[in-house]
Structure 1
Amino acid sequence: MVTLDDYYTAARSLVEPAAWDYIDGGSGDETTLRENLAGYRRYRLRPRVLVDVSRCDMRTTLLGSPVALPIAVAPTGFHGLVTSEAESACARAAGEVGALMVVSTFATTRLEDVARAARGPLWMQLYVFRDRTVSEDLVKRAEAVGYRALVVTVDAPVRGRRVRDLRNAFALPPGLAPANFPDIPADGSSAELAAQLARHIDPAFSWDDLAWLRSLTRLPIVLKGVLTAEDAAHAAELGVAAIVVSNHGGRQLDGSVTALDALPEVVSAVAGRCEVLVDGGVRRGSDALVALALGARAVLVGRPVLWGMAVSAAEGARDVLSILGAELETAMALCGRTDLASVDASLLRPASHRPC
């Protein structure tokens, strides 16, 4: 296994087909899902030469937490679909390579157990439930066991129409459930999974509710799912700590702008008032370099980590993150950039550009 594509091919043969469609699929015609990948091909790198690149430093901080590389694990639900070690394996793997992990609300391992397994910093992803006491409890539990930020997913007030899941009437297999909410029925005897979860997530959650969320915790708040300068500027005005530019991996609004295309306007709109991260479509270390050059502080990867876990649990996840890190380090060296501070927009030009 030397590339993420190698892990993709191996994982596809190992994961049950309906579960694979849940992981691999997007919404609608999956146009945005494909465009997330294609977006990185619209840029070319401009390498500088005769630079001492005997050492490239990829270290940075994410909301004050030191990390060894600007690549984090995105929140993805139900890791138990690909390995019995589930989110605990992922947390160990991320920590071993010095990466941050964002743990999903819909993990198949209790957030306390993930924290015990972790060897690095954790953020907690949050959906706000119609029953606000459920979300309040989750926030307090996360803060109590050392999670360092709340990542509020804001692009899913209703669930996108994920055609593959609808055709499969996808439900979790018997014995697998959202571990943080034991009262939510979600097994093979239940109705289609999306319908179950939609009953619990609050579609009325709005900007006005951020004050309520802040009242619950001292943890910094991150908004995940911002794609416009208008929303980014408003978030910064309200004092959010960070934004994740994201279209939910192409799983929500098909036809939406890609996160990479939205990244420059978001970075410009926040003007340094909060940190900006991006997810969606990163499959090579050079992809991460493109995003960093456009102003992201770090990239998040989701599906590839699940591919690695499907092949060999924590070892596979660790290898996926290590491959991306090694590719990023190589790309930085070949571009003559020795640290992240030296990575900027001068590194890029549009693929269609033709000099005079």
Structure 2
Amino acid sequence: MSITRRQAIHQLSMWALASPLLAEFENEVARSVFQPDRIGPLDELVNVFELEEVARKKLPQPLYNHIAGGVGAEYTLRRNREFFTRITFRPRMLVDVSEMDLSIDLFGSKLFAPILAGPSANHGRLHAEAESATVRGAEAAASAAVISRRSSHSIKEIASQTLTPLWFQADAEITADITRREINQAVDAGCRVICLSIGNNRPGILERDIHSRRLTPDTKLMENSDPSTLKNVWPPNPAQLRKYGGPKLAWNLVDQVKGWSKLPVILRGVMSREEAKDAIDNGIDGLVVSNYGGRTIDGVAATIEVLPAIADEVDGRVPIFIDGGFRRGVDILKGLALGASAVWLGRPILWGLASYGAEGVEKVLRLLQMELALAMGLSGKRNLQAIDRSLVKIDRW
């Protein structure tokens, strides 16, 4: 799949010229350019931040706060975005980029660009068609989608709605019999990759939830817990949190999952080169650099910040995926330059889904695909193979 630089610039300019929203953005937030209480049509929106603003207007405030917020003081949530400003480009101009190719082959599936819809729970909170709309949007953008074990619809129902490649995220820190049952269901539904998440089974405190009065004694503190077993969850009971924290991860689970599924197995939640080394030594087929959008422990580094060290350790042996704060095509290009194979989108997919359903998800992916193509062309990179660390410079804190 290829796109010319001229086509990329033309498409982006057409979106811009058609939009009445060409105002000065402050802090990358589109709120100031929207008329009060007005929700414009989809074709007026020119970046992901504007879709977030539509979602903010459509969703009940407690639900918006729950999705937008991070744990604690939201230090990690902010750092995920802020660290991108420390990375600058060193473009090459005298390069032929008349024909561009963003395509990537991942575990036997060819995608238009290295941008995937990442996993998140309970899409039914945001749209009546839930994950079924999400995967249709991903398919329309020639992308792939990773489905959470806490989806609103069953993996079988979701898979029946699309031909796009689906991956399934299981939890590595729950009991093996549950994991095996869920993985078998994913395999039967046609999922092509199994993702094991680590480090997100113990809850962080989402203070926005508390302040917006969403967290009540009847609300689950951990989304995968049985509500009948948790009473008076605020303030949390340390003994109860230990009880429902899940078993310690054992590396032999990787071999077990491979045996159950006969599929590639990747690990999400890797934030250090040491853990990356352990994962590869134990047979993992890919890594996802993730701090879960700043929703586990506050104070960890930004994902883009730790990516170079992990990429150095991996040294091309397995693909590296990353999420956390990616909102623009230039962000994605920086991630690719620092060693990522592809980027997963979390909140942006939810904003698109909440705003316009499947069409909103497609819009998010198409916007970022076009922005990435434009950034690559202006940097002198005609395909993904041409992107390396020489493209960027990192200013440390």
- The normalised TM-score by structure 2 is 0.81
Task: Map 1:283-298 to 2 at 5 A.
Answer: 283-298=327-342
Runs of 5+ in structure 2 lacking a partner? 1-44
Say whether 1:107 aligns with 2:151: yes
Residue equivalent to 2:322:
278
Cα shift at 1:312? 0.6
Residue equivalent to 1:40:
84
Cα shift at 1:282? 0.4
Change (3 A) 1:197 1:126: farther
Contact 1:32–1:254 at 8 Å: present in 2 too? yes
Contact 2:271–2:290 at 8 Å: present in 1 too? yes
Identical amino acids, percent of aligned pairs: 34
Contact 2:255–2:283 at 8 Å: present in 1 too? no
Residue equivalent to 1:306:
350
Runs of 5+ in structure 1 lacking a partner? none
Task: Map 1:246-261 to 2 at 5 A.
Answer: 246-261=290-305
Residue equivalent to 1:120:
164
Residue equivalent to 2:271:
227
Cα shift at 1:207? 2.5
Residue equivalent to 2:15:
none
Cα shift at 1:50? 2.8
The CA distance in 1 between the partners of 2:284 and 2:50, in whole Å, is 38
Say whether 1:84 aligns with 2:128: yes
Task: Report the residue type matching 1:101 in the other structure.
Answer: A
The CA distance in 2 between the partners of 1:311 and 1:212, in whole Å, is 40
Task: Report the residue type matching 2:135 in the other structure.
Answer: A
Contact 1:150–1:220 at 8 Å: present in 2 too? yes
The CA distance in 1 between the partners of 2:250 and 2:343, in whole Å, is 26
- The normalised TM-score by structure 1 is 0.90
Task: Report the residue type matching 2:298 in the other structure.
Answer: D
**Structure 1, residues 143-199: CA drift from partner, whole Å, max 9, x if none?**
11110111111122412222223443447x99xxx8xx9x9559xx99769989997
The CA distance in 1 between the partners of 2:241 and 2:128, in whole Å, is 22
Q: What is the alpha-carbon root mean square deviation over aligned residues?
A: 2.7
Task: Report the residue type matching 1:222 in the other structure.
Answer: I
- Give the stretch that moved more between structures: 158-167 or 288-297: 158-167
Say whether 1:269 aligns with 2:310: no
Contact 1:91–1:117 at 8 Å: present in 2 too? yes
Say whether 1:132 aligns with 2:205: no
Residue equivalent to 1:211:
255
Change (3 A) 1:234 1:294: same
Cα shift at 1:80? 1.0
3-state secondary structure, aligned to 1:274: coil
**Structure 1, residues 62-81: CA drift from partner, whole Å, max 9, x if none?**
22221110001111111111
Q: Which of 44, 52, 76 is the aligned partner of 1:8?
A: 52
Change (3 A) 1:64 1:105: same
